[in-house]
Amino acid sequence: MNTIHVPEGYSLKRIQFYFWLGLFSAVFLRLIIIADYYNGILSKALFYLGVLGYLVFFAHRYHVATRRVEVLRNLELLSKIESRTPLSEEDYHGLQYIMWSLSVSKERMNYLVIFAFSVIAIVLSLALDLGIV
């Protein structure tokens, strides 16, 4: 029987790097609305920094999701669980990797911060457009 490679998890420093990269990119893209009101060059710089950050961040997130799905597919974990097939040590190792990866992921916090900064950006933009601020 062929053994399936179960990847190692990333270090906490790497996880935190991508978390902060995603947050800064989200903030930069939301600040464009405000920066454009005051300084066109600053808004362009924020745009490029935000988009470049997102390119790296989402390439990483795609890679993480792909690794998880590959473990599920290669070990046929879903069908084994659905059919209540006994799991091998390798299956447990694969499940442990997926569960660990999900448990240390900062994606939920990233979504929450993106949502909050999006609301703040819309409110500030409307305030600026209406002359309230």
pLDDT tens column, 66-103: 999 999 999 999 999 999 999 999 999 999 999 999 99
Environment class of residue 120 by beta-carbon count within 10 Å: exposed (0-12), middle (13-18) or buried (19+)? middle
Q: What percent of the chain has pLDDT over 70?
A: 98
- Count of C-beta atoms within a 10 Å radius of residue 38: 9
The pLDDT score that the predictor gives to residue 83 is 96
pLDDT digits (tens, 9 = 90+) for 100-127: 999 998 888 888 988 998 899 899 889 9
Largest CA distance in the chain: 70
Q: Is the pTM of this model over 0.85?
A: no
